[in-house]
């Protein structure tokens, strides 16, 4: 188990679509374990392999502590409700800033587990938000891309100021 360095905004790797996982092996299981540890250390409630510079379609979400850890390999949103909801979002790659993002209230995701077994999960509430947010990341869509230009510019400016003040 290793806590890996997190790729920080505006690194171009955060905007690159990730490759489908084809090998369900020990290396994938190790990456998933590392992502769990890295996410907890950040801290965060979701992370993708892209956040640590690995361009693979792998997501970890943990909403209610260690017993709630979910791992999604090659996830895609199969269906999204027309009903929308707004939640506060942020990113482990852009710590210290958050903003309200509107997304589908409910989704159905198709994915594989770490053994390659196919799965389908329906989600609403925070889990639906996290799935959409992290799958966007796998597709090369950074969370601020879902904001208006004005809000996006404000968030980027605030993040740059935080980075300057910290370093």
Residue pLDDT, tens place only, 64-123: 988 999 999 999 999 999 999 999 999 999 999 999 999 999 999 999 999 999 999 999
**Residue 16 — φ and ψ, nearest 5°?**
-100, 130
Of 54, 83, 122, 134, the catalytic one is 134
**Structural domains of the chain, ranges and CATH numbers in brackets:** 12-166 (3.90.45.10)
134 included as an active-site residue = yes
Residue pLDDT, tens place only, 89-98: 999 999 999 9
Residue pLDDT, tens place only, 4-59: 999 999 999 999 999 999 999 999 999 999 999 999 999 999 999 999 999 999 99
* Burial class, 20, CB count within 10 angstroms (exposed 0-12 / middle 13-18 / buried 19+): exposed
- pLDDT at 166 (0 to 100): 85
């Amino acid at each position: 188990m290793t806590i890996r360095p997190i790729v920080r905004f505006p690194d171009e790797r955060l905007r690159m679509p990730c490759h489908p996982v084809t090998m369900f092996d020990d290396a994938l299981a190790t990456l998933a374990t590392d992502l769990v540890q890295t996410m907890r250390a950040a801290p965060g409630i979701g992370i993708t392999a892209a956040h640590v510079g690995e361009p693979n379609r792998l997501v970890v979400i943990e909403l209610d502590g260690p017993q709630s850890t979910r791992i999604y390999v090659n996830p895609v949103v199969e269906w999204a409700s027309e009903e929308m909801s707004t939640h506060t979002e942020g990113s482990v790659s852009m710590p210290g800033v958050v903003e309200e993002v509107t997304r589908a209230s409910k989704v159905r995701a198709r994915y594989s587990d770490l053994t390659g077994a196919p799965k389908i999960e329906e989600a609403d509430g925070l889990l639906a938000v996290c799935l959409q947010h992290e799958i966007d990341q796998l597709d090369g869509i950074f969370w601020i891309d879902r904001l208006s230009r004005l809000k996006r510019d404000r968030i980027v400016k605030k993040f740059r100021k935080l980075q300057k003040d910290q370093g």
